[in-house]
Structure 1
Amino acid sequence: MATINKPLKPKPLTKLRSPILTLILCISAITLLCLFSSLISTNGFSFSSPKNLPNKPHRQHTTHEKYLYWGSRIDCPGKHCESCEGLGHQESSLRCALEEAMFLNRTFVMPSRMCINPIHNKKGILHQSDKWAESSCVMDTLYDMDLISETVPVILDNSKDWYRVLSTSMRLGARGVAHVEGISRVHIKENSHYSNLLLINRTASPLSWFMECKDRNNRSAIMLPYSFLPTMASQRLRDVADKVIALLGDYDSIHVRRGDKIKTRKDRFGVYRTLHPHLDRDTRPEFIHHKIEKWVPPGRTLFIASNEKTPGFFSPLAGRYKLAYSSNYSGILDPVIENNYQLFMIERLILMGAKTFIKTFKEDDTDLSLTDDPKKNTKSWQLPVYTMDEVE
């Protein structure tokens, strides 16, 4: 008997699709709800340290830009060509040069390396590799050039952009470059002979670059705050700081500068004097406790960054606070840090990320500080003070 094969009709998919669609819609709704709630919670917080920036292409320099060159190394030409000062000193000089570039509306040619003072590189608290013995480091391992360029356009002096500027200025001859010395930035800006040139080769002060900004006590003359360069750390350093900040959670911080700042010398009568008469006293644990108790409640996590080398120096504070140091996070820091400058830059970001940040010296009117001694002294050597009489 012959059989006839009838074509099979496909079963309706309504019943099959219905639970799948329902599941997909539920998952989508939950995902959107979680995303929305995370955005709300994230926007509720703010941090002092700069946020991680998304990967983006390097800034493109145009042919219409004009350039300012101060030298191949910070403070060189100048007093410190054979040696160099610490990070803070060099940052003061670099900030001065960047301010002039802002004032002249020019792109600053940044030295591609920063000199490392060996005295300031012996205080590393982490495992030190052979790289710690190097006398300089690559500038963009310290700073984010694209981030700086959002405020002051910069290029490095080993970049293709710089070689292009040099070759162009040579072709232009007298119309391309001017070598200036002892001329104020106001004169350079207002004199068309200089303002129209492609490149200003600015020979800095024979003392230090920052001497070109001698009027920094005039607040209206300051274009870049002290905090500018500390927040311009490279992406790699910012990432490490963010990891430590996440582990610290809710914390407070103090920066305790001792070491070089508490040095004394004998006068002609054999009496010891110092430039900061209260600093040694104000940065000892018992005085720190007295000073910060009105700002930091007991039981808080207190992150301490200091150049004090005595082991356990701050241990007396552990009776009131949960103490934390960079050395507690060596597993995170050690693979990244190659010199003490990088370590200090990370510590500064961690310090700034705290709920309450207490500095050693007051740098701004709103700062909290351990001492009332001025950071910049007038070279007046005074008798050290160790009593509580003058403490608030």
Structure 2
Amino acid sequence: MNQFIWSFLCGLGEASFLNRTFVMDLGVCLNGGHTASGRDEDGKDFRYYFDFEHLKESAPVVEEREFLRDWRRWDRRRAKNKISVRKVPSYKVTPMQLKRDRSSILWRQFRGPEPENYWYRVCEGGAAKYIQRPWQALWKSKRLMNIVTEIGGRMDWDYDAVHVVRGYKANNKDLWPNLDADTSPDALVTKVLSMVKPWRNLYVATNEPFYNYFDKLRSHYKVHLLDDYSEMWGNRSEWYNETMALNGGKPVEFDGYMRVAVDTEVLYRAKTQVETFNNLTRDCKDGINTC
């Protein structure tokens, strides 16, 4: 998903530089690290994760199905005056070379894997000083943010938070030799007590799958975990009904990427934020010798 966001924003930045509208396919592939199956899953809807309405208001972007429908309608009505199209099959044609192109549609075609990493060339190469990624246009989905607001409200917006990263990083002793021990239940109690007053509301944002892993903190804090609020995405929730409507009437899984998005936003709103790689462990976020 992160690679998709990076590439998508590069494409949107290029379209803005060319004074064009970016045509966007709302289907995204979710990385296996965020799926129940552990495998990459295609066909997810961008709108599950991000606010597409805000994006359309902030940047020159249109949804692909809507664009193709209007394009076909135009060409049917004006058989002798069809929309001009230039197909660009090679990454070697740069945005600068297309700046003055008068074709109504610039259709970039990349066969197979992008050679020499096309999007790196656009956003980080020679064009970087002209083409800026519009990060400000990308907001999290209102459906997810409503969950964040509800969780914060249940704690009266008076809480502290600790971010506990474990998962595959805690299992990889070569890159993160201390993380597992530094985020053990006993170590967490010692570290958090040194930074957060006892008996505060404490939200734990984590990828640790075992709910009871944080029970020792409950002897000192009113602990809150994301799973304590599972009814907010259950089959009677507003989130469930709205995402099912986007998915043609089929239920949508509240997946790992959504969990991270909500956890992160709740964490950001805490009065005190205890971070794994700044406060809990001696290890570096990206592995040994990367601090």
Asked if Structure 1 and Structure 2 have the same fold, meaning a TM-score greater than 0.5 normalized by the shorter chain, the answer is yes
Q: Any stretches of 5+ residues in structure 2 without a counterpart?
A: 76-80, 241-251
Q: Is the 8 A contact 2:48 2:141 kept in 1?
A: yes
Q: d(CA) in 2 for partners of 1:213 and 1:256?
A: 35
CA contact (8 A) 1:253 1:351 kept: yes
CA shift in 2, pair 1:274/1:324, >3 Å = same
Amino acid at match of 1:237: L
Q: Say whether residues 1:112 and 2:26 are aligned partners.
A: yes
The 2-side partners of 1:280 and 1:253 are apart by: 19
- The 5 A counterparts of 1:67-146 are 87-122=1-36, 136-146=43-53
Contact 1:244 1:350 in 2 (8 A): yes
Deviation per CA, 1:173-223, whole angstroms, max 9, x where unpaired?
4xx323153347xx413654548653242537259786557749xx98874
Letter in 2 for 1:349: E
Contact kept in structure 1, 2:10 and 2:119, CA below 8 Å: yes
Q: Name the structure 2 match of 1:161.
A: 67
Counterpart in the other structure of 1:84:
none
Amino acid at match of 2:169: K
Poorly superposed stretches of 4+, deviation over 6 Å:
166-170, 207-210, 219-222
Write the letter of the residue equivalent to 1:179.
V
Summarize deviations over 1:104-160 as a string: whole Å, max 9, x none. Answer: 444332222222345522299xxxxxxxx97532222322112123433322222x2
Matches within 5 A, 1:1-392: 87-122=1-36, 136-158=43-65, 160-165=66-71, 171-173=82-84, 176-183=85-92, 187-189=94-96, 191-194=98-101, 198-201=105-108, 203=110, 205=114, 211=120, 215=124, 223-224=133-134, 229=138, 232-249=139-156, 250-264=158-172, 273-293=173-193, 295-335=195-235, 336=239, 338-339=252-253, 340=255, 341-361=257-277, 370-371=280-281, 373-376=283-286
Identity %: 26
| Corresponding residue SS for 1:354 | coil
Secondary structure class of the residue paired with 1:312: helix
TM-score, length of structure 2 as denominator length: 0.69
Q: Please give the per-residue CA displacement for 1:63-94, whole angstroms capped at 9, x wherever unaligned.
A: xxxxxxxxxxxxxxxxxxxxxxxx44443443
In 2: Cα distance, 1:305 partner to 1:112 partner: 28
For residue 325 of structure 1, report the CA deviation from its aligned partner.
Answer: 0.8
Change (3 A) 1:193 1:255: same
178 and 135 in structure 1: CA distance in 2 versus 1, 3 angstrom threshold = closer
CA distance 1:281–1:222, shift in 2 (3 Å): farther
Match of 2:44, as an amino acid?
A: C
Say which one has the larger Rg: 1
- Looking at structure 1, the residues matched to 207 and 68 of structure 2 have their Cα atoms a distance apart, in angstroms, of 37
Aligned to 1:15: none
2:247 is matched with none
Name the structure where helix makes up a greater proportion of residues. Answer: 2
Residue 212 of structure 2 aligns to a residue in which SS? Answer: coil
Is residue 110–residue 156 contact of structure 1 (8 Å, CA) maintained in 2?
yes
Give the root-mean-square deviation of aligned CA atoms. Answer: 4.0
- AA aligned to 2:82 is R
Say if 1:94 and 1:210, in contact at 8 Å, map to a contact too. no
* Residue identity opposite 1:141 in structure 2: Y
Report how far residue 247 of structure 1 moved: 0.6
The aligned amino acid for 1:306 is: T
Give the secondary structure class of the aligned counterpart of 2:55: helix
Query: How many pairs are equivalent?
Result: 262
Evaluate the alpha carbon distance shift between residue 190 and residue 208 of structure 1 in structure 2; reply closer, same or farther with a 3 A threshold: closer
Displacement of 1:99 after TM fit?
A: 3.9
Q: In 2, are the aligned partners of 1:123 and 1:307 still within 8 Å (CA)?
A: no
SS, match of residue 324 in structure 1 = strand
Checking the alignment, whether the CA contact within 8 Å between 1:179 and 1:202 is kept in structure 2 is: yes
